[in-house]
Amino acid sequence: MKNGEVIAFIEKCDKCSARALVKAFFLQGELFFCHHHYRELDIGEKAYFLQFVDENEKLETGITHTVACE
């Protein structure tokens, strides 16, 4: 996990238009995921993350507004 990194409120999931709560870093770039699509990833896919920022706790605390995935 990247310490101190915050995901900007305007960042959207790369699979849908929902608010991004996870930012994954790879050798050649980064991807953003909403809560729903991050949960759909399996362990093998997550193994490719070099680092990541996970702000899913904001859903539990009510800090952020989200757009539902379709």
pLDDT digits (tens, 9 = 90+) for 21-51: 999 999 999 999 999 999 999 999 999 999 9
pLDDT score of 7 more than 70: yes
Question: How far apart (Å, rounded) are the C-alpha atoms in residues 48 and 67?
Answer: 27
Written as six digits, the tokens of 52 are 């990541």
Confidence of residue 16 (pLDDT cuts 50, 70, 90): very high
| pTM exceeding the 0.85 threshold for the entire prediction | no
pLDDT in the model for residue 3: 67
Q: How far apart are CA 27 and CA 20, in angstroms?
A: 20
Q: Where do the domains of the chain lie?
A: 1-70
